[in-house]
Structure 1
Amino acid sequence: MTDLGYTLSSEEHSPNDMVEHARMAEEAGFDFLSISDHYHPWISAQGEAPFVWSTLGGVAAATDEIDVGVGVSAPIMRIHPAVYAQAAATAAAMFDGREFYAGVGTGEALNEHVLGDKWPEHSVRLEMLEEAVEIIRKLWTGETISHYGEHYTVENARLYTLPDEEPTIPVSAYGERTARAAAGFGDGFWSVGPQEVVETWEEAGGEGPRLCQLHACVADSEEEAVETACEIWPNSGLTGEMNTVLPTPAHFEQAVEMVSKEDIAEGSIMTSQDPQVHIDSIQEAIDAGYDHVYTHQIGDDQAALIDMYEEEILPSFT
């Protein structure tokens, strides 16, 4: 059975608004929530970037049963893995028995460069991530640990606040090398859009939940949806490594000047107002092997998507 989820977009909404969106999504019948972890939005028009771990406390208090995941954090530079271990353990404890997905990835310079560290190439970041997950798991045992590794040092650290069950650690992967590595040290697979490398991950022995995000803009018309998506989320039209190497929203604003409304209309964002398009896109992700599919509504009107899904989409998958 596939779980259907809803995105809490940290790049677009204030923390209090996201807490309210989480409550609305649970009432509508979504199975889980995903929340992004950003220090900066992709572009200034998105307008927000609250600290995800503070927001999660509010979400935990405002909801009762819905599962939640961070999709995804990069515990390699901006947040040391020992700090990430404590943050995720505390969040999971606040959700009190619900499934908590502590998604991780190799990150983007946009968020991780802020302390002035050199931005490593991807192969180095992948090594850092694997070592970080090792530290996180050691700390989640509740034992006092010391770690002297290639990238990190931890001395006499112990977590006293732990959930009853360890969080699941899905790993974000876009290339085959990362997918194979993720199969070795992760508890699941996390993707934006159905990535074919999920098959590589499975062939390498990957096990656990497979999570996939879809982008949408539900509005009064397709024309309005394209307009909103082009204004708020043009970064979806960028290809290659730009998303991981550009360091500031200003750089992204320069890059997205090449993205047109036609690119948005013909791209991966669901701008059609036909519920069947959403149903078909979700089914496509399910057919590709994903068992957790969640949707990001672009723009201020989050109720438009939540209402459509409650009435038209979620009942189609029960």
Structure 2
Amino acid sequence: MTSFGCFLATEEFTPARLLEQARSARDAGFTRLAISDHFHPWTDAQGNSPFVWSMIGALSQTVDLPVTTLVTCPTVRVHPVVTAQAAATSSVLLGGRFALGVGTGEALNEHVLGDRWPSFDERADMLEEAVEVMRMLFTGRQVSHRGRHYTVDNARLYTAPEKPLPVLVSGFGPKAAGLAGRIGDGFVTMGPDEEAIATFREAGGTGRPVVGGLKVCWDQDRDAAVETAYRLWPTEHLPGELNQILPTPAHFEQASELVTRRQVSEAVPCGSDAEEHLEAIRAYVDAGFDEVYVGQIGENQEEFFAAYREKILPALVG
């Protein structure tokens, strides 16, 4: 049975607002939380980017909902040993209700130390090794490792996960879906792509959860909602690999000039028609998702949570 969570966008909101949304999500009937991990927002209009591990610590003291990162890149900006320590502590703070979603990352966040931005195939190889390193560390045993990309010298997590810590692997194409099937405890993909899910399962992911979600913009005025979504999240609609290779918010702003309001209007559930929101979410359910996370774009948060508490979630969970 599909469970429904709330997506917390660190790119768009301050730490205080994110904690407020977590409480509102719990009160509205959402049963899980997901949170993004960014160093930069996609555009200056979004305007925020708090450190995800600080946020997860605060969330653990604010609500008792499970938390998943969607997603962390443990390969370039942050070494997998450090990511493993952060994830292990998060798991302990949350009483085992933490899942580590990982992916191959975006240059937007990973270029900040001046490192070369590798090709996808190399990043996928780095991710596979990083997951191997983190899983060894999660055991609490002392680890030494010398691989193609990472060296670990007598490292041990003294605060290790008390329960198995799931590592969910993100993917947006057949290669990434296959990698997720081989090494992931679950698959993260943000669109209801049945072909990608089939690839994941054929590669070894049968019986493991499929996780994803969507952004919506609830507003009594649909035109205003479209304008808000267009202003804040045009990057969601960029084609191909642009989201992975552009290095700065300014570049994303330039590329987003290719996106039209009509594209946003057709792709994002906007306005207050409950059926439009339900149809978009049910597409994920029908595709076989186990967890679906919904994030509200813009400032109209109270009305969003009220509508989902009263209209949307009851229709989904029966």
Bucket of the pairwise TM-score, normalised by the shorter protein: over 0.9
Aligned counterpart in structure 2 of residue 185 of structure 1, from 183, 186, 193:
183
| Cα distance in 1 between the residues matched to 2:113 and 2:127 | 18
Q: Aligned Cα RMSD in Å?
A: 1.0
2: distance between equivalents of 1:123 and 1:300? Answer: 39
Say which SS state the counterpart of residue 61 (structure 2) adopts: helix
Q: Give the structure 2 partner of residue 264 of structure 1.
A: 264
The within-5 A match list for 1:4-43 is 4-43=4-43
Which deviations, in whole Å up to 9, do the C-alpha atoms of 1:153-206 show, x marking residues without a partner? Answer: 010000011232122111101111111111111100001121230111011121
Quote the offset at 1:220 in angstroms. Answer: 2.2
Q: What letter corresponds to residue 118 of structure 1 in structure 2?
A: R
The alpha carbon displacement at 1:283 in A equals 1.4
Cross-structure match for 2:301: 302
Same amino acid, percent of matched pairs: 49
Supply the distance in 2 between the matched residues of 1:317 and 1:192 (Cα, whole angstroms): 19
Counterpart position of 1:156: 154
Unaligned residue ranges in structure 2 (runs of 5+): none
User: Cα offset for 1:20?
Assistant: 1.3
Query: 84-93 or 277-286: which moved more?
Result: 277-286
Q: TM-score, normalised by structure 2?
A: 0.97
Partner of 2:123: 125
Distance 1:282 1:229 in 2: 17
Structure 2 partner of 1:232: 232
Residue in 2 that maps onto 1:171: 169
Quote the offset at 1:27 in angstroms.
1.4
Q: 1:248-275: CA deviations, max 9, x gaps? A: 0000011111212112112x21114211
Tell me which of 108, 120, 133 is aligned to 1:110. 108
Residue 37 of structure 1: CA displacement? 0.2
**Deviation at 1:304?**
2.1
Q: Give the residue type in structure 2 aligned to 1:25.
A: A
1:15 is displaced (CA, Å) by 1.1
C-alpha distance in 1 between matches for 2:167 and 2:131:
8
Looking at structure 2, the residues matched to 202 and 300 of structure 1 have their Cα atoms a distance apart, in angstroms, of 38
Give how far 1:9 is off. 0.5
Question: Counterparts in 2 of 1:201-240, with a 5 A limit?
Answer: 201-206=200-205, 207-240=207-240
Moved more, 11-20 or 146-155: 11-20
Amino acid at match of 1:22: A
SS at match of 1:7: strand
Deviates more, 1:190-199 or 1:43-52: 190-199
C-alpha separation in 1, matches of 2:161 and 2:63:
17
CA deviation after TM superposition for structure 1 residue 290, in Å: 0.5
State the Cα distance separating 1:284 from its structure 2 match: 1.2
Task: Give the match's secondary structure for 2:212.
Answer: strand
In structure 1, the partner of 2:251 is 251
Tell me by how many angstroms 1:235 deviates.
0.8
Amino acid across the alignment from 1:212: G
Runs of 5+ unmatched residues, structure 1: none
CA distance in 2, matches of 1:244, 1:293: 23
Give matches, 1:132-143, under 5 Å: 132-143=130-141
Stretch moving more, 212-221 or 134-143: 212-221
Partner Cα separation in structure 2 for residue 273 and residue 189 of structure 1? 31
* Number of aligned residue pairs: 315
> Which AA in structure 1 matches 2:204?
G
Q: Secondary structure at the match of 2:189?
A: strand
Q: Distance in 2 between matches of 1:234 and 1:91?
A: 32
**Partner letter of residue 139 of structure 1?**
L
State the alpha-carbon separation in 1 of the partners of residues 172 and 126 from structure 2.
17
Equivalent residue, structure 2, for 1:293: 292
